[in-house]
Structure 1
Amino acid sequence: MSSAAQTSPSTAPTPSAAGSPALAGTSDTQGRLLEAAAEAFADRGFHATTTRDIAARAGLSPAGVYVHFKTKEELLYQLSLAGHLAALELLRSAVADHDSPADELRAIMTTFSRWHAEHYRVGRIVQYEFGNLTDEHRDEVLRLRKEIDAVARDVVTRGVASGEFVVGDVADTTLALLSMAIDVARWYDPEIRRTPEAIGAAYGELGLRLVGA
């Protein structure tokens, strides 16, 4: 999730899967509610989903939802916040683990696109339901998107300066790179033959081609 915007069959990653961005640091009940909200929002959309529907999926009474989350929008916000924080950490780690702009960009594109395949439901919710956040929550998510963009833009800028990349417009190129990875969440389906790992590897190479590396 980034400035570019913008879990499910039993074989697919779900918000409760290990390493899920939505459930880190939550209680068991909060995690169940976030998982239920992610499933409901993905299946029905934000507006068509009711707190009763979320509660039923989590095995709770409707009143049980409000003990942990005041509104349906707060559940959407927590999913969006967690997804963006996970994405930001992912990009920062990719850069920290490599020594050249080319290697950093390949790592960013590989891990970012793979992440959007592995967490495609959360990715879709974050992108398609963004407009349903309150102004305050939208501003906070936008701040994180700008930080994500800044990490990638810095890599592209340094690559141009070192001569590794040939880019006419750093800002537009960064937007294109991140948009390409984020869009994986839109079309990915666990039934397709391409694995998240294969998608990540392919997008890592495509990212380097885009900057003329």
Structure 2
Amino acid sequence: MYHDVNDPRTPVEGGLDEAEARALDENWSEVQPPAARQILIAAVEAFATRGYHATTTRDIASRVGRSPAGVYGYFRSKEELLYRISLIGHQRTLRTITDAAGSDADPVARMRAVVSDFAAWHARHHTTARVIQYELGALSEAHHAEIAALRRQIDRVVRETLDYGVARGAFDVPDVPGTALALLSLSIDVARWYRSTGRLGPEDIGALYADLALRMLRTPEHRPLTSGH
């Protein structure tokens, strides 16, 4: 797994960097009390570093100076921690992409916003995104079904954005479901290799991916002849 397009030899290390940990503490303020929020953040770091199955409740507890019993006072199980992380992460992702889809009536500008914001989210929250994207199989059947429903809503936003552009003659897309899957997969993969120490920031990643997406989607008469947007 790599973090910088300039140096594909550099491996990604698991764990939260200081900026991302601080952002989680601020953005997850609805998780109360603060002790529960700190346990969730510790679980994100542990799952990203060791993987869900290799992580123990003791590993998570030790990161916040608690015993396993101190974790169970807030969360019933390790799986519930993963579920809460997945739920918050997917809800935030859905909100981000839904807001982007309603940002402009122009189909090209709308798609630019959707891809840009979705890719940038996966860069900005890359550690959390790795957990919620690649540990889904560890969720219980009921929890997995709930998260899958959120993922279908995210997919629906992208499909509707594509349909909107096709209907207005801006996009040439013979397979909307397949194209939506490709765009989502492209952006999600950012979480696998992104590092905050790389040469591109989240906004740079968003702009790059949006530009690539539009070059693929536009009809021949709407494709730019230069690198300008």
TM-score when normalising by structure 2: 0.85
User: Which of 21, 26, 33 is residue 31 of structure 2 equivalent to?
Assistant: 26
> Would the alpha carbon gap of residues 166 and 141 (structure 1) be closer, same or farther in structure 2, given more than 3 Å must change?
same
Instruction: Using the TM superposition, give the Cα deviation of residue 24 of structure 1 relative to its aligned residue in structure 2, in angstroms.
Output: 4.1
Looking at structure 2, the residues matched to 46 and 197 of structure 1 have their Cα atoms a distance apart, in angstroms, of 29
Residues 142-180 of structure 1, C-alpha deviation per residue, up to 9 Å, x if partnerless? 000000000110010111011010111011011111111
- Residue in structure 2 matching 1:145, options 137, 151, 168: 151
- More off after superposition, 96-105 vs 76-85: 96-105
Contact kept? 2:24, 2:41, Cα under 8 Å: no
Kindly state the Cα deviation for residue 98 of structure 1 after the two structures are TM-superposed.
Answer: 1.1
Q: Is the 8 A contact 1:114 1:200 kept in 2?
A: yes
Where in structure 2 are the equivalents of 1:35-184 lying within 5 Å?
Answer: 35-184=41-190
Take 1:135 and 1:15, find their aligned partners in 2: how far apart are those partners?
A: 32
Identity among equivalent pairs (%): 46
2:214 corresponds in structure 1 to 208
Q: Which has the higher contact order (CA 8 A, sep 6+)?
A: 1
Which residue of 1 is the match for residue 7 of structure 2?
A: none
How much has 1:16 moved relative to structure 2?
A: 4.7
Partner Cα separation in structure 1 for residue 130 and residue 17 of structure 2 = 15
**Structure showing greater Rg:** 2
| Structure 1 gap ranges (5+) | 1-6
CA RMSD of aligned residues (A): 1.4
SS of 2:171's equivalent in the other structure is coil
Residue 8 (1) aligns with residue 13 (2) = no
Q: How many residues align?
A: 204
Distance 1:171 1:163 in 2: 18
**Where does structure 2 lack aligned partners over 5 or more consecutive residues?**
1-14, 223-229
TM-score (norm 1): 0.91
